[in-house]
Structures are given as structure tokens and as C-alpha cells.
Amino acid sequence: MSVEKLKSDLEKVLKKAFESIQKSENSEEIEKARILYLGKKSQINSLMKSLSNLDSQQKAEFGKYLNEAKAKLTSFLEDKKLSISSKVKTINDNFDFSMPGRNSSIGSLHPITKIMDYSIEIFEDLKFECVEGPEIEDDFHNFTALNIPESHPARAMHDTFYFEDGYLLRTHTSSVQIRAMREKNLPIRVIAPGKVYRKDSDITHTPMFHQIEGLYIDTNVSFSNLKSIINTFLKKFFENDDLKIRFRPSYFPFTEPSAEVDIEYINSRGEKSWLEILGCGMVHPNVLKMAKIDPSIHSGYAFGLGVERLAMLKLEISDLRLFYENDLRFLEQFKRAKL
């Protein structure tokens, strides 16, 4: 057998081998090609065996040729193997897109918290600072400093829970504002959110509820400024620039002039009515005096919001009692991060 013939046989095998390695798409095919072209029973191996029939010069010549070819093929195969193994590919499994996931980890925030935080954020944007104070108050901070003396008929408006030591549960967070006025430097621009208590329990009252009260004291604070801040807040809160708002004269011992604010409310039947939403006014000079602020230099406005009422309107909750039953069927409806 001539070396020429052997070489041409080898060329044919090599050509097929390179092609088939080149075509391989995965490690199984590569392995098949390896066994077929480089394995013990491969043609290349049998060509190897035919070396014994050659003379020594031919043996050396063809042997070298064969070995080089084999090395080339091996390295080509290894390269291919590597390129296949590092290739990015989609894993085909039985993933069911429609299956529910493992347990969710989203709980719920109480709607009072959500409305409170939402309102606080609006006021913080309007540069109000949040302040807090005790829920057990003394008579001075809850009444006297707010121009509600012992015999004042307005005390009839506040049915108050008392303790034996004469202390009481605050009936409004105005008491926190009194503390702010006495402790902070002017100008003061604060809101006081928190729990308040009144001795009242029926369909429209709970003995504990939440308030946000606001106070701004500076030189030249006016009633028209108060109208502006209330308008801005209510329009932002109800996300309605066309919200109809009206101010009505009212009476609070701690403000003069005092106002009650109504918004226009359209029920499901399309009937319009006015709905009382908050009370406000210009801080009474006696309140300023008691906080050691000179009413001839400084003036201020104050307002108070009932959080439950806002929540009922904003979230369309019809029954006040739902807030304090803590029934998951109610609570779990409030999972969203934003209102």
C-alpha cells in the first residue's frame, strides 16, 4: 500500500471528521464524533495499525503526518467542546408560567396609617414639621391654654375622660401645639398627628380617633393664607383641582375668626351636598398670650382634621366601626404601597 494512497484515505476521513465536529451542537454529538474519529475503533486508529506494513522511511513519514493530523483534530474537537459548554442557552424545563408563586410577603397597612402618612407627606411638602406629645394631658394644655376656662360652655363640647389625679386623655392634638408654641422659636409651622379621645360612642363616633392639627405662627399670617393652605391641602388630598370648597363661620374658643370647611360631595346618585371636613381659624390672641407670644406682633392660623373622616371619604369606607375591628377581610384590602 502506498503512502500516497494512505494519505488520500486520511484526507477523506479528516474532511468528514472536521465537518462532523463543526456541525456538532452539543456535547453528546461531540462525543459521538470523538468516538467515531478518534476512538479505538476509528478509521484513524486503523490507519495507525496499517503503519506496520510500511517500511521504516515510509513509516516515519506517514507516522509524523498522521500524528500531526490527529493532534490538529483533537485540538479542534477540544475547542469545539469548550465553545459548546460555555455557550448561553435556554434551559428547557417544565416551568408553568401560570403557576402561583411561593407565599407572598406583602401584608397590609392600616388605612388610618395610610391616610395619616399621605396627609403628613402633603403637609411636609408644604414645609410643616411633625411634632408629637403625650396622650395623657393636664388640664392646662388641653383646655386652659386653649382659652377654654373651667366655666366655659365649650367644655360641654368636649366630653373628656378623666383620671383620679385630675389628668385627662387629650381631646385634641391642639395640646401638642401648645407645647410647640411654648418650646419652639418663632416662626412655628407644625402639624401634630395622633390619637385623641372623647367620651362618645355611636355610629358616627368612636371614643378614640385620630387627628392631624396644624399651626402656623409668624408675623403677618392672615385668614387669606389660611384659606390658601386649606384649599391646597384638600385639592391635593382628594387629587381634584376642581374640588369645590367653602368656608363657613363657626366657633372654637381657641380661634377667632373661626371657620368650618365644607367640600362638595357628590353621592352615587349624582346628588350634590356639602360635607363638613375640618375646622380652622386664626389663633385666638388669648392662646398666643398664654404661650408668651405677643399678638400685636405675631398672628397665626390653626386647623384640625379628623383622619377617620378623611379615610372614609378617600377610601369609600361606609362604617366607622370597621377601623377598630381589625378584621383581616377589611385590613387586607390595603396592601398597596401608595394610596
Partner 1 sequence: MKLTKSWLEDYLDIEENIANLCNDLTMAGLEVDEVATLTSDHLIDIDLTPNRADCLSVMGIARELNCINNKYNLKKIKKEIDLEPTCENINLQLKVIDKEICPRFAFMTLRNISEAKKTPENVARKLQDIGIGLVHPIVDILNYINIDLGQPMHAYDLDKISNEISIRLSKKDEEFVALDGKRYKLNKGNIIICDNNQIISLAGIIGAEHCAVSSSTKNILIESAFFPPKLIANKARALKLQTESSQRFERGVDYNLPKIALKALSNIISSNQICYFSEIGMFESREFLPKAKEVNISFKKIRQVLGFEIDDAEIENILISLGGDFDREKNKIINPSFRYDLEIHADYVEEVARLYGYDNIPIVSEKIDLKPDAKFLSNIISRQVKDYLYKNNFSECINYSFTNDDPEESFDWKNDSFTEHKRISNFMSIEQNKLRSNISSSLIKNIEHNFNVNPKESYRFFEISTVFGKKEENILTCVLSGKKNEENWDAEQRKFDKYDMTTIIEDLSRLFGLKKNDFSYKISSITKSKKDYIILSVCLDDLTKKIKNNQPESYENYSKFPYIRRDLSFFIDHTVSYEKISKLVEEINVHSLKKILLFDLYDGKGVPEGKKSLGIGFIFQDENKTLTHEEADKNIERILSELKNHFDIELRK
Footprint (CB under 8 A) of partner 1, residues 259-288: 259-260, 282, 284-285
In three-state secondary structure terms, 210 is strand
The whole-angstrom separation of Cα 314 and Cα 329 is 19
Which of these ranges, 18-26, 64-72, 86-94, 106-114, lies near partner 1 under the rule CB under 8 A?
Answer: 106-114
In three-state secondary structure terms, 75 is helix
Indicate whether 221 belongs to the interface with partner 1 (CB under 8 A).
yes
Indicate whether 251 belongs to the interface with partner 1 (CB under 8 A).
yes
Indicate whether 249 belongs to the interface with partner 1 (CB under 8 A).
yes
In three-state secondary structure terms, 40 is coil
Nearest distance in Å: CB 86, partner 1: 24
Indicate whether 64 belongs to the interface with partner 1 (CB under 8 A).
no
* CB of 325 closer than 8 Å to CB of 230: no
Nearest distance in Å: CB 145, partner 1: 17
Indicate whether 203 belongs to the interface with partner 1 (CB under 8 A).
no
* CB of 291 closer than 8 Å to CB of 180: no
Measured from the Cβ of residue 60, the count of other Cβ atoms closer than 10 Å reads 12
Nearest distance in Å: CB 38, partner 1: 38
Nearest distance in Å: CB 130, partner 1: 4
Footprint (CB under 8 A) of partner 1, residues 68-97: none
Q: x/- string (CB under 8 A) for partner 1, residues 223-242?
A: xxx-xxx-xx----------
- The partner residues of 191 in beta bridges, in order of sequence, read 130, 214
Indicate whether 328 belongs to the interface with partner 1 (CB under 8 A).
yes
Q: Which amino acid is at 237?
A: F
**Phi, psi dihedrals of residue 282, rounded to the nearest 5°:** -90, 130
